[in-house]
Structure 1
Amino acid sequence: MTIHPTAIVSNSANVHSSVDIGPFTIVYDNVEIAEDTVIGSNCEIGVPAPLGDGSPLRIGANSVIRSHSVFYESSTFGERLVTGHRVTVRELTRAGNGFQIGTLSDVQGHCKIGEFVRFHSNVHVGQHTTIEDYVWVFPYVVFTNDPHPPSEVMKGVRVKSYAAIATMSTILPGVTIGEGALIGACSAVVKDVGDHRIAVGNPARDRGETSAIKLQDGSDRPAYPWKHHFHRGYPESTVAQWLSSVQESEN
């Protein structure tokens, strides 16, 4: 373990001997950090959470948490968590392997996030949001949860697997975005979006099947489902399954 002399690490924290912890970072009591994780400077890891359930903050192996990030206790992250800088994640967030959180993103807690979900910068995730596997969320997207603010009513958004939500879109409370759906930039999504459908505008309207969009690489291949042609950063076993499904559909 490499702990910078200015870092403060609680003796009660369960930190693997291979973990690196940067300058001025604080690791609180109720924390479990798995092997080969790197935590940058000026982070707060395992901040006490009165609204949590008393469980520890669990960070999976081979994770990278960059400077000035804050994670509260009572959340769990799988292996290979990667953050940008100045990320905040509140209590009772459950995320799978390969979760990427861009700089200045904010997860308000009580959220469920699947495998290999990717947030770009400045994403805001309201409480009770559910995001399934392999979802892409681009900069300045906002997931809301209060249908008539301010109130005590919270209706979380649900995003199904393989959906992509383009920059500066706002998803209203209780909306479900279907599997493989595409939300166009600057959209306000006020009602459910079906599987493999395009929704664009304010308010967002259905614009047809995602398969109608072509890659702008001269190949004239469909851009969606994106998993048929974009594989960077995904496990080889998963990519093999995707390619097998393409071959089966073509036969």
Structure 2
Amino acid sequence: MESSFYSNREVKRLGFQSIGNNVLISKKASFYGEKNISIGDNVRIDDFCIISGNIKIGSFVHIAAYSSIFAGDSPIVINDFVNISSRVSIYGKSDDYSGESLTSPLIPDKYKNIKDESVIIEKYVIIGTGSTILPGCTLFEGSAIGAMSLITSSTKEYTIWAGIPAIYLKNRKKNLKIFMINLKSQ
């Protein structure tokens, strides 16, 4: 029976900048600019994900089905123990919607005003289904983003955010750090 994930040998042939151990990548995921994408250990990327640009994925990261990560020249950095639920979109690059410039990948750059900024997702972050992260945001350690949220600015450590645009709801417990210590000692 054929697997829906690439074999280890097939993953290594995809041409990533670097690739860790125990990486599961769906054969239905799409990558653009593989030489600029690095992936750590214990990572799973599910069906129909699109990953493009200057991207660094840490270890123990899950990117669920239909998620998309679009970086420009500035990197998108996803640190360890991050969970990206299905249909999440992360943008490091975006058009200017003000009307002061044109938009579209078909328009020459001199007529556009592109926002190209890093997105940093620190350790222990979870992003709920259908959420969107915009350029220049940092999701600080332990942040939890509720489903269908729009992140337009950086979060604070161990806090829960939700809404459009997302707002701070309450603090998040730090018990998960204990589990991480136990996991590393196995």
Q: What's the secondary structure of 1:139's corresponding residue?
A: coil
- For 2:66, the aligned partner's letter is N
Q: Which residue of 2 aligns with 1:4?
A: none
The separation in 2 between residues aligned to 1:185 and 1:124, in whole angstroms, is: 15
RMSD: 2.7
Q: Which residue of 2 aligns with 1:137?
A: 84
8 A Cα contact 1:135 1:162, kept in partner? yes
Superposed CA deviations along residues 87-128 of structure 1, whole A, max 9, x for unmatched, are 112221011111110111111021011111111111101112
8 A Cα contact 2:95 2:114, kept in partner? no
The correspondence for 1:183, drawn from 141, 145, 148, is: 145
8 A Cα contact 1:111 1:129, kept in partner? yes
Question: What is the 5 A alignment of 1:161-240?
Answer: 161-211=123-173, 225-228=175-178, 238=184
Distance change in 2, residues 1:79/1:162 (3 Å): same
Distance change in 2, residues 1:107/1:200 (3 Å): same
The reply to whether residue 84 of structure 1 matches residue 31 of structure 2 is no
Following superposition, the deviation at residue 77 of structure 1 comes to: 1.1
Superposed CA deviations along residues 174-200 of structure 1, whole A, max 9, x for unmatched, are 100010110000000111000101110
The correspondence for 1:119, drawn from 47, 63, 76, is: 63
TM-score (structure 1 length as normaliser): 0.58
Following superposition, the deviation at residue 155 of structure 1 comes to: 1.0
8 A Cα contact 2:37 2:53, kept in partner? yes
Question: What is the 5 A alignment of 1:25-40?
Answer: 37=8, 39=10
Q: Which residue of 2 aligns with 1:248?
A: none
The structure whose RCO (Cα within 8 Å, separation 6+) is larger is 2
The separation in 1 between residues aligned to 2:160 and 2:20, in whole angstroms, is: 31
- For 1:120, the aligned partner's letter is A
Following superposition, the deviation at residue 157 of structure 1 comes to: 1.2
Following superposition, the deviation at residue 164 of structure 1 comes to: 0.4
- For 2:54, the aligned partner's letter is H
The separation in 2 between residues aligned to 1:112 and 1:38, in whole angstroms, is: 21
- Consecutive unaligned residues in structure 2, runs of 5 or more: 97-102, 104-112
Q: What's the secondary structure of 2:184's corresponding residue?
A: helix
Q: What's the secondary structure of 2:56's corresponding residue?
A: strand
Q: What's the secondary structure of 2:116's corresponding residue?
A: coil
- For 2:120, the aligned partner's letter is R
- For 1:205, the aligned partner's letter is I
The separation in 2 between residues aligned to 1:210 and 1:237, in whole angstroms, is: 20
Distance change in 2, residues 1:237/1:146 (3 Å): closer
User: If you compute each CA radius of gyration, which structure gives the higher value, 1 or 2?
Assistant: 1
8 A Cα contact 1:117 1:135, kept in partner? yes
Q: What's the secondary structure of 1:100's corresponding residue?
A: strand
The correspondence for 1:109, drawn from 53, 77, 96, is: 53
Following superposition, the deviation at residue 74 of structure 1 comes to: 4.8
8 A Cα contact 2:94 2:114, kept in partner? no
